[in-house]
Amino acid sequence: MMACGAKGVISVLANIMPSTVANLVDAFFAGDLATARKLHLETLKIGNAMFIESNPIPVKTALGLMGKCSDELRLPLCPMGAANKEKLAAIMKEYQLI
């Protein structure tokens, strides 16, 4: 989005990887497009995983897996399905988040 003129990001991913997202944004605005692109591509898999179910279910589940907060959701939201939770946990392990 920033490459199309956005002035920053509102990032679900920043909830679980704040430094990485901050580094990506900083690199972009410093004109270091190679680093920004590299960080974007490196985080694409986990970023996509944040939307395997309706937002904010995956990010809340991820934060729970990280021990940052409870993964309890209020209605009308429901817990993440078991299969998707396994996928999310596996991806988070790849990124050494859990």
pTM: 0.89
Q: What is the DSSP string of 13-25?
A: GGGT-HHHHHHHH
- Which amino acid is present at 31? G
pLDDT, one tens digit per residue, over 21-66 is 999 999 999 999 999 999 999 999 999 999 999 999 999 999 999 9
Q: Is the peptide bond before 56 cis (omega within 30 degrees of 0)?
A: yes
Beta strands in 9-82 (DSSP E): none
| Residue 78 CB neighbour total at 10 angstroms | 10
